[in-house]
Amino acid sequence: MINPALLLIFGALPIAFLQRPLRQIYLLALPIVAFALALGIEDGSYGHIKVFDYTLETLRMDGLSRVFMIIFLIATFLGTLYALNDDDPVQQTSGMIYAGAAVGAVLAGDLISLFVYWELTAIASVFLILAAGTEKARRAAMRYLIIQVGSGVLLLAGALMHVADTGSIAFVHFGLETTAGKLIFLAFGVKCAFPLLHNWLQDAYPEATVGGTVMLSAFTTKLAVYSLARGYAGTEILIVIGATMTMFPIFYAVIENDLRRVLAYSLNNQLGFMVVGVGVGTELALNGTAAHAFTHILYKALLFMSMGAVLLRTGTCKGSELGGLYKTMPWTTGFCIVGAASISAFPLFSGFVSKSMILSALGYEGHWFAWGVLLFASAGVFHHSGIKIPFFAFFAHDSGMRPKEAPFNMLLAMGVTAFLCIAIGVYPTALYDILPHDVDYHPYSTAHVINQLQLLLFSALAFTFLMMTKLYPPELKSTNLDTDYVYRRLLLRLIAWLRDALAQVDRQGRQFLLGIVSAIMDWIQKHHGINGMMSQTYSAGTMVFWTLAMFLVFLVMYLAA
């Protein structure tokens, strides 16, 4: 029995030593071999290793692990294919290790293995950001690394407490009742980009390399979703957290200009759906979460791929600078639209068959408010990801750019991904068959389809209306308003004012916190920095003084005792 995770991780090591054509073949073969191996593993528990007094269960195969493993391996293949032409062995090696670690983590049956893989995903993935080579990327990478490692530390702390409490290291349902459970929850939450813990995502992902972002978008957060589904299914607070996650990124996504950052926000929003599913915790909801993670990885990768191709060919990803690219990049445009349709949950596209499961599960359990929030969020998704991304990049006003079509390997990667998006939408049974619980769900009921189409229609209408009336926020240079719509302008101003006021509070709050942090950093620098008090070379006199001081302290202590 070979653990596919280890195959990827150790298989990644020789990459740097291989030369061009051979390396590319090797890179593509590795995930395929891993996939073939992985499919042959029956449900059960394997790979027991004794460490200290504990038995690790490095390979646990069950329904939940399997579906995540499958999509992770598919994503590894697609991501590798997409970045095949990069001549950057560091990035390719770390990408492969990163993917392997993510697979390892979803297969880990105990907390120690989980922790090891958890940290490995953090360490390996940071190279994908660093490889961009810009100063901005370097800084973002450091922040990303510290937060990710911090999440691992929380996990370790929680795991230690859990072991102390229960004596078991098994990775099973924890719940929030114990302190250990809370700590582990927080660790998962950081990686899952819960509200207020989410900033690393929008911070780091858009700074990564073109291929790196595609890989990043697939693994880290979905690993967190898997972990939540494993450890905290049915924890009600997750419904609230998830619903919040679906809502707040929408507003940021609408006003953001960097299209890859828009996608990062929308990634956050899609995670919200999955988190809600975990919170509901019924079989249908967990199926929905797994299915949504599956489809989401594909269409989000597809969107990042198309934006990556744009970035590669034009050197920018700013909505205001792009436009009219469909003329010379027709294929990329088409694939992007497939991704957009999937994320917006158009019937016959993959998002539809998974998202509706979560919504239905909410409805069955009577969480009507959350249901409403998610419905609104769906409209928002369509708005910023479904329309905004393709519209501003490929259509809108003609930017005059006439870039070449994306390279063949990228088109191929996008094509395969787009095919999968449509295939799942048309034939959902294939996906439903690998879900953790038995599925008796029919997405294409009349009510679902009508409902969704109405939603999409009105959302599209709103966008068109706002564009026509030039009310749509930031990408526009001109903010002229048509005088006919005074009351709308007032309303908009009110919204704008609120937004600015919130931004102000937000900024000041952050500045305050940053102020404290930098004050601490200054203090540390002053005392511990290169010429600081603590790191100087001292004369023998000073050293003797301290020695005597210590002697007196100890003497007094011993004599007093």
Partner 1 sequence: MIAQHLPILQIVLPLMAAPVCMVIRHPQVVWIWATLITFLCLPISIALLVQVMAEGVIVYELGGWAAPWGIEYRIDKLNAFVLVIVTAIGAVVMPYARRTVDTEIPVSRVYLFYTMLLLCEAGLLGITITGDAFNLFVFLEVSSLSSYVLISFGKDRRALTAAYRYLIMGTIGATFYIVGVGLMYNATGSLNIYDLSKLIPELGGSRTIQAALAFLTVGLGLKLALFPMHMWLPNAYTYAPSAVTVFLAATATKVAVYALIRVTYTIFGTVDILEIVPVQDMFMVMAVIAMFVGSLVATYQVNVKRMLAYSSVAQIGYMMLGLSFDTVTGVAAGIVHLFNHAAMKGGLFMALGAVAYRVGGVRLEHMAGLGKKMPWTMASLVAGGLGLIGVPLTVGFVSKWYLIQAALEKGWWMIAVLIVICSLLAVVYVWRVVEVIYFRPVSEIAQEAKEAPLSMLIPTWVLIGASIYFGIDATTTLDVAFAAARTLLGDGG
Exposure on the CB side of residue 561, measured as CA atoms within 13 A: 5
Residue pair 144/126 in contact by the 8 Å Cβ criterion? yes
Task: Assess 51 for contact with partner 1 (CB under 8 A).
Answer: yes
CA angle, corner 546, sides to 541 and 552, nearest 5? 125
Sites for partner 1 among residues 514-543 (CB under 8 A): 524-525, 528-530, 532, 534-535, 537-540, 542-543
Q: How far is the CB of 544 from partner 1 (least distance, A)?
A: 6
Binding of partner 1 by 115 (CB under 8 A): yes
Question: CA-CA distance, 344 to 390, in Å (whole number)?
Answer: 12
| DSSP one-letter code for 206 | G
Q: Which neighbouring-strand residues pair with 174?
A: none
Contact stretch for partner 1 (CB under 8 A) within 77-85, 111-119, 209-217, 402-410: 111-119
Cα 465 to Cα 459: distance, rounded to the nearest angstrom: 10
Say which residue the tokens 């007093």 belong to.
Answer: 560
Q: Find the helix or strand (DSSP H, E) in which 59 lies.
A: strand 54-61
Contacts of 21 (CB under 8 A, 6+ apart): none
Nearer to partner 1, 141 or 341 (CB): 141
State the minimum distance, in angstroms, from the CB of residue 549 to partner 1: 8
Least distance from partner 1 to the Cβ atom of residue 393, Å = 31
Burial of 118 (0-12, 13-18, 19+ CB in 10 A): buried
Looking at beta carbons only, is 487 or 558 nearer to partner 1? 558
Residue ranges in 125-154 that form contacts with partner 1 under rule CB under 8 A: 130, 133, 138, 142, 145-146, 149-150, 153
Q: Which CB sits closer to partner 1, 88 or 405? A: 88
Q: Which of 20, 21, 164, 446 binds partner 1 (CB under 8 A)?
A: 164
According to the binding rule CB under 8 A, does residue 447 interact with partner 1? no
Residue 544 interacts with partner 1 (CB under 8 A): yes or no: yes
The verdict on 87 binding partner 1 (CB under 8 A) reads: no
Q: Closest Cα to residue 150, out of 186, 107, 179, 103?
A: 186
Q: Spell out, one character per residue from 404 to 443, where the chain touches partner 1: x when CB under 8 A holds, - when not.
A: ----------------------------------------
Please tell me whether residue 156 binds partner 1 under the rule CB under 8 A. Answer: yes
Contact between 167 and partner 1 per CB under 8 A: no
**3-state secondary structure labels for all residues of 284-345:** HHHHHHHHHHHHHHHHHHHHHHHHHHHHHHHCCCECCCCCCHHHCCHHHHHHHHHHHHHHCC
Query: CB-wise, 447 or 560, nearer to partner 1?
Result: 560
> How long is the chain?
561
Chain residues binding partner 1 by CB under 8 A are 51-52, 90, 112, 115-116, 119, 123, 130, 133, 138, 142, 145-146, 149-150, 153, 156-157, 160-161, 164, 524-525, 528-530, 532, 534-535, 537-540, 542-544, 546-547, 549-551, 553-555, 557-561
